[in-house]
Structure 1
Amino acid sequence: MAVRTTWNVAHTCGHEVTHDLSNRPADKRAGFARWLAAKDCTDCWKAARDGDSASKEEWLAAKRAEEQQAAKDWAQQFEMPPLEGPERALDWGERSRHQLVTAAYTALTVEGSWDEADWAVLEEKIRTVTRAGWWIDQRDAEGTDLPELLDAATDEDRGTENPFR
């Protein structure tokens, strides 16, 4: 006699659902059905997940606002030039620049062998890259890579004081 492939499972949410477990090895079906019984059914699980998305969105919005304020405060404190690019990329670019530059400072100066004079030279290079998209593209880079990345930046990534360029 073959091991059955369909199981009627009474989920913890109170719903009973027939599950086709034919895609599982025969010796794993009973254990999987037992595991399913300890969970909400798919519909209830999705409803709970979707209902919780509002709080996740609120949390993410609050976190982004906090990061954005920190980036703006940092840019003002260190006299960083405003970034250029599409309106929707500016905030993201500012956050990315702030995170990468502070990670670089920590890695190179605080934990590394650079002194403040070395950092001052790099900081001037940082000020020249004003394209928000460039900073967004570098968002996953290691802080120690920043000097090399800045050397690789093109003229299109660098700002100009001439507004008629």
Structure 2
Amino acid sequence: MTPIPTEWDINHTCGHTVRKNLSDKPAGQRAGTARWFAKNRQCPECEAAQRAAEDAELRAEAERDGMPELVGNDGAVQWAVLIRQEFLRTSFRELVETNLVDPAVFQTDVLEAARRVTAARWWIDNREIPAVDLPELLAEPGPGAIAKAPAPAAAASATPDPAPAAGWVSFFDKEANR
């Protein structure tokens, strides 16, 4: 009897074939997992390239809309930019395109107000609020909405304690993310 292989050649949706180690799956699930990857996923390199392109597109869209850079750790900022832009798009569709709000009012009550909210954490924390409620949410965003920008890297200090990496802020550090 031949053992069920742990490494499988997967022909991804992008057309690339990648050998994947599935030894972490029970033997009876490896073939199904390999089929699922082949049917539903691009190879890791194509997925990374697609994510980078989407991130660049979101950042360009945010810049076009005059949205400021968000403050937080890299992962939180990347996620929050996606949330913010989708929030703004959906809000525009639900408010302006359905004639609930005049475009000029949307400009002041949503876009200008959104420009003041610079904490990545705020966008993440409020991601499940209905988009039609965005004007009300932005009218009183709360104390954690406006993040303090990280301090510029200081000159080498005379203290023997190592300095934290410049600009590094823990996502869970509530004070730093305010």
With structure 1 as the length reference, what TM-score do the two structures score? 0.61
Q: What is the aligned-residue RMSD (CA, Å)? A: 3.2
Looking at structure 2, the residues matched to 139 and 67 of structure 1 have their Cα atoms a distance apart, in angstroms, of 19
Structure 2 counterparts to residues 3-82 of structure 1, below 5 A: 42-49=29-36, 55=42, 57=44, 60-82=47-69
Structure 2 counterparts to residues 78-117 of structure 1, below 5 A: 78-117=65-104
Looking at structure 2, the residues matched to 73 and 131 of structure 1 have their Cα atoms a distance apart, in angstroms, of 19
Looking at structure 1, the residues matched to 140 and 43 of structure 2 have their Cα atoms a distance apart, in angstroms, of 38
Asked which structure has the greater CA Rg, the reply is 1
- 1:79 partner amino acid: G
1:132 is aligned to: 120
Looking at structure 1, the residues matched to 58 and 91 of structure 2 have their Cα atoms a distance apart, in angstroms, of 15
1:142 is aligned to: 130
1:20 is aligned to: none
- 2:123 partner amino acid: W
Whether contact under 8 Å (1:103, 1:142) holds in the other structure is no
1:154 is aligned to: 142
Looking at structure 1, the residues matched to 126 and 43 of structure 2 have their Cα atoms a distance apart, in angstroms, of 26
Aligned residues: 125
In the TM superposition, what is the alpha-carbon distance from 1:50 to its structure 2 partner? 5.5
Secondary structure of the equivalent of 1:110? Answer: coil
Moved more, 111-120 or 95-104: 111-120
Looking at structure 2, the residues matched to 67 and 151 of structure 1 have their Cα atoms a distance apart, in angstroms, of 29
CA 1:116–1:45: 2 relative to 1, 3 Å: closer
Whether contact under 8 Å (1:84, 1:130) holds in the other structure is yes
- 1:85 partner amino acid: G
Q: What is the percentage of aligned positions where both structures have the same residue? A: 28
1:140-161 Cα distance to aligned partner (Å, 9 max, x none):
3322111122234212212469
In the TM superposition, what is the alpha-carbon distance from 1:133 to its structure 2 partner? 1.3
Looking at structure 2, the residues matched to 121 and 132 of structure 1 have their Cα atoms a distance apart, in angstroms, of 21
1:71-96 Cα distance to aligned partner (Å, 9 max, x none):
11111112111100112211111111
Looking at structure 2, the residues matched to 113 and 154 of structure 1 have their Cα atoms a distance apart, in angstroms, of 25
Whether contact under 8 Å (1:84, 1:132) holds in the other structure is yes
Whether contact under 8 Å (1:85, 1:131) holds in the other structure is yes
In the TM superposition, what is the alpha-carbon distance from 1:60 to its structure 2 partner? 4.7
Whether contact under 8 Å (2:122, 2:144) holds in the other structure is no
2:18 is aligned to: none
Structure 2: which 5+ runs fail to align? 5-27, 152-177
With structure 2 as the length reference, what TM-score do the two structures score? 0.57
Looking at structure 2, the residues matched to 77 and 46 of structure 1 have their Cα atoms a distance apart, in angstroms, of 41
In the TM superposition, what is the alpha-carbon distance from 1:115 to its structure 2 partner? 1.3
Looking at structure 1, the residues matched to 92 and 40 of structure 2 have their Cα atoms a distance apart, in angstroms, of 36
